[in-house]
Amino acid sequence: MTAHSDTHIVGWEDHPFYQNCLNLIEAAGEQIDLDPNVFQRLSKPRRVLYVSIPVRMDDGTIEVFDGFRVQHNTTLGPAKGGIRYHPEVNLAETTALSMLMTFKNALVKLPLGGAKGGIRCDPSVMSRREKQSLTRRYTSEIFMLIGPDRDIPAPDVGTDAQTMAWVMDTYSAQVGYAVPGVVTGKPIEIGGSLGRVDATGRGVVYTIIEAAKRLNMDLDGNTTVAVQGFGNVGYYSAKIINSLGCKVVAITDVSGGIYKSDGINIQAAKDWLDKNRTFDGFPECDKISNAELLELKVDILIPAALSNQITKANADKVKCRILAEGANGPTTIEANQILNEKGVFTIPDILANSGGVIVSYFEWVQGQQSFFWSEKDVNNKLWEIISNAFGRVYDFHQAKKIDMRLSAFAVSIEHLSKAMLYRGFFP
């Protein structure tokens, strides 16, 4: 057997995504005179767990997968963050994403810390039985870290409500009773919340509405939108903004996508993709690549796929007025600077896609109380929290004359740092 280097397991310090987060903390800290001791504590995760996950595959062989769970900060409450199944999952990315979760939760003033988890795998080529075995073994391996008062996972790229149901059941089996609060994003039948499925996409649209108000921009039939990524976040972002009257002229998934100048029928496109697993052959539309979508002249661009999609190599070709980051970390720091110079109004990821964790928080609260809300109540409470957060960030942006991304991190870190200083240092 040939030895190989497991570069996805080793440390995170030199990874560009992690460094990107550190640079943002440092830059935001300068805006609020951040205590250097707080910066040091925020620059590293609190806990990191690596687990190997053996799974008996359908052909009888045993394959061993690499899994991670990272808790970045728990000052404000239990850790909270998704579980990602993807071939490129690695420790550095998971650590950086856990940091973003900390600042996202602090920004919208949830009583939660930040965490992230993931398994390096390709769920698209695995059977239901294989994914269930993978999930249950992973849950048993991270059991000592998670729990409704410790760390509450949720769906992310490559996972869904069914995955969370398996996590909940495995955890509950080990403690001997049902624990719906151990995860969020569950099916309604076992303690999920109404409004959770579309919450992230809905939150993206709510922040776009707030941005449009301040830019004196109408959202109507003349407003054009392009959406990169057509998973949960991209689909609901497209569906909800289309319901406001805006024209979604382009959508893509991992294999490419479609363009139609007078607007795409979103539900027809979703039905086609679900059936064919590709947009190829979708009628009355032109083919378009992910790279081409990012360079379209549109009013609103929603990157809702993976990180590092807009970089210094293509940022000068972005032609939107509002960039709403449905994905985590889709824009690099260098690209962010270029976009600012071009006058693009960016709604950063920790604000734009915070709807998912806000409604996850609602689900957790409902589960702890065994008292469930209507979908209307959920959406109204989501609007209240996310619009208030947008207002705080926008006011800081106006007062300090800095971009929205730096403003969001500054507002978030200011809230978190006060909590850290009140709690003090142990021992």
Q: Which residues are catalytic?
A: 116
| Strand, helix or coil for residue 85 | strand
Handedness of CA 312, 299, 155, 407 (dihedral sign): positive
Give 219-277 as a DSSP string. Answer: -STT-EEEEE--SHHHHHHHHHHHHTT-EEEEEEETTEEEE-TT---HHHHHHHHHHHS
Asked if 183 and 153 count as a contact pair (C-beta separation under 8 A), the reply is yes
> Which candidate, 347, 266, 324, 261, places its Cα nearest to that of 297?
261
- Cα–Cα distance for residue pair 342/273, rounded to 1 Å: 34
Asked if 302 and 224 count as a contact pair (C-beta separation under 8 A), the reply is no
- Cα–Cα distance for residue pair 325/347, rounded to 1 Å: 6
> Which candidate, 377, 373, 375, places its Cα nearest to that of 365?
373
The single-letter code of the amino acid at 329 is G
H helices of 108-177, in order, are: 128-141, 161-175
Bond before 54 cis per omega within 30 degrees: no
User: DSSP strand E in 313-385: where?
Assistant: 322-324, 345-347
Would you tell me how many other CB atoms lie within 10 Å of the CB of residue 421? 13
- Cα–Cα distance for residue pair 66/344, rounded to 1 Å: 39
Asked if 326 and 351 count as a contact pair (C-beta separation under 8 A), the reply is no
> Which candidate, 224, 346, 208, places its Cα nearest to that of 293?
224
Asked if 55 and 90 count as a contact pair (C-beta separation under 8 A), the reply is no
